[in-house]
Amino acid sequence: MHIPVMLNEVIDSLNIKPDGIYVDLTLGRAGHAEAILKNIVNGKLIAFDKDKIAIEESRGRLVEVNNHFQLIHSDFKNFKDELAKLGIKKVDGIIADLGVSSPQLENKDRGFSYNKDGYLDMRMNQDQSLKAWDIVNNWSEEDIVNIFINNADVKMPKRIANAIIKNRPINSTLELVETIKSCLPAKIIRQKNPAKTVFQAIRVAVNNELESLECILKDSIDLLNPNGVLAIITFHSIEDRIVKNFFGDLIKSKHDPKIPIQEEKKFFVKVLYPKEEEILTNKRARSAKLRILHKI
């Protein structure tokens, strides 16, 4: 069962107006979307997902709340253009939960899990051609090392990339896990399952997640109404650093602090962490961080 992470904190931070327009960039199984929709009376919720299955399964759940929503099958990096097609130029709140949804992880055929044996897929949008199999079996050693370094904190990336090249073809998730473990010292394997960061790095590359994240951050600023809110839930240090630095640049003083100029602030930022009781009931929340940007 998919439990939305930091649900209460997200809803509180959005401060939903009954007639406002809100965007959920990562619909998933509609955990956050359902809670937002319950607070909308005359407004609208627009929700995006690359996964057609998520769109169809969420539709029935949301219809039971009300009909003030529209679901769009698209990479969230396109959300500004998609909203323009609907005549929407400004919104009151935007939420993005950057984690992989539980149904995707639990379905071995999707290839996201390093604990279940399945085909090396990892596509969130199953209409796209690039799969994890293509990266593992066709990409150069240099390119694989680069995604290990840029997309996750993979330990000994060159050694793992070299092992992948030597053991091709690798067709399944557990074959890849075995390849990873076979080339690493026992000490590293005991500390933490090394497959976790390798799978993260490949998944991020398959779905172009970091570039898409940078796109939505820039476009969100243009779209937010005054008093609008952008809320992003991150789960690993690479994506969190992108969000942190982007928000930080927006609130950074543009003047020399020694010069006594009163600077008008346009944004303020908050960071929230999951409560201990949530972590106990939902292990996905353990690494979550909610960064909130308010447009003044």
Task: Give the residue from 206, 230, 253 where a domain finishes.
Answer: 206
164 and 191, same domain (yes or no): yes
My answer on whether 148 and 286 are in the same domain is no
Residues 28 and 90 in one domain: yes
Domain hosting residue 236, numbered range:
7-103+209-295
pLDDT score, position 1: 58
The low-confidence residues of the chain, meaning pLDDT below 50, are: none
Q: Which residues contact residue 53 at a Cβ distance below 8 angstroms, ignoring those fewer than 6 apart? A: 103
Which residues make Cβ contacts (< 8 Å) with residue 204, sequence separation at least 6? 147, 151, 152, 210, 238
Q: What is the pLDDT of residue 147?
A: 98
pLDDT value of residue 265? 85
pLDDT digits (tens, 9 = 90+) for 130-188: 999 999 999 999 999 999 999 999 999 999 999 999 999 999 999 999 999 999 999 99
Answer yes or no: do 228 and 281 share one domain: yes
The pLDDT of residue 101: 83
Residue 250: per-residue pLDDT:
95
Q: What is the pLDDT of residue 7?
A: 97
Give the tens place of pLDDT for each residue, 64-89. 999 999 999 999 999 999 999 999 99
Q: 154 and 36 in one domain?
A: no
The per-residue pLDDT for 104 is 86
Please indicate, yes or no, whether residues 197 and 257 belong to a single structural domain of this protein: no
Q: Which of 88, 107, 116 is nearest to 29 (CA)?
A: 107
Q: Tell me which of 159, 186, 206 is where a domain ends.
A: 206
In this predicted structure, what is the pLDDT of residue 11?
A: 98
Give the C-alpha separation, 106 to 103, whole Å.
5
Indicate whether 180 and 36 sit together in one domain: no
Q: Does some domain include residue 111?
A: no
Give the separation between CA 170 and CA 6, rounded to whole angstroms.
37
On whether the CB atoms of residues 34 and 65 are closer than 8 A, the answer is yes
pLDDT at res. 276:
96
